[in-house]
A and B are shown apart, each in its own frame.
Chain A
Amino acid sequence: AQSVTQLGSHVSVSEGALVLLRCNYSSSVPPYLFWYVQYPNQGLQLLLKYTSAATLVKGINGFEAEFKKSETSFHLTKPSAHMSDAAEYFCAVTLANQAGTALIFGKGTTLSVSS
């Protein structure tokens, strides 16, 4: 069975500082990995996804993530935080090429950005 662990339920950064949100996964078969963002009272918006192509994945709003198989990690980064980045972030995993499997989410990390 696959699972996701997000280290740190709450991360606080200053505007302009580096954002690093950590995600480790467990999967018995090659995974697909995703990062989603959720603003208050809204659904989930896809930031980026890893689907076994390039290990460094670039997403929207300046975010990127690197798939590291040896560390079973898929950490999300952004060089310079903006106030509008304050939101809830979810890492998710699904099994590659397996019908019937949906997304398994981590518990989420709340990102706060201060001026």
Chain B
Amino acid sequence: ETGVTQSPTHLIKTRGQQVTLRCSSQSGHNTVSWYQQALGQGPQFIFQYYREEENGRGNFPPRFSGLQFPNYSSELNVNALELDDSALYLCASRGTVIGYTFGSGTRLTVV
């Protein structure tokens, strides 16, 4: 198992900018989901992809978008960054076994 890796680990952006966060899932994990974890809160579901198609979305605006690629990597894109977007962003993947494997996250700070 190679686990789930996320990059970068930390990022500082200015309000109004755009950001792309990356995730590399385990081989064979066709489902990837992204979560936002604000300080002191539980993770909040952003969206989920299965075989490169979005098949679930949480209560996040359209400026949060994503992509999943055939090589088990994925991206989270956020446009028009706001101060409240500052959070830990977590990627999680799963295969056929029930349960998600999480990466260590990307800490995004918007100033």
Determine if A54 is an interface residue (Cβ-Cβ < 8 Å): no
B contact residues, total (Cβ < 8 Å): 26
Determine if A32 is an interface residue (Cβ-Cβ < 8 Å): yes
Q: CB within 8 A of A46: which of B6, B44, B101?
A: B101
- The interface bits of chain A over 22-62 (1 if a CB of B lies within 8 angstroms of the residue's CB, else 0) are 00000000001010100001111110010100000000000
Residues of B within 8 A of A107 (CB): 41-42
A contact residues, total (Cβ < 8 Å): 22
Nearest chain B residue, comparing its CB with the CB of A46? B99
Find out whether the CB atom of A102 lies under 8 angstroms from the CB atom of B45: yes
Q: How far is the CB of A40 from chain B (nearest CB, A)?
A: 11
In the complex, the 6 A-B pairs of residues with the closest C-beta atoms, listed nearest first? A100-B56, A105-B42, A100-B55, A43-B102, A44-B102, A43-B104
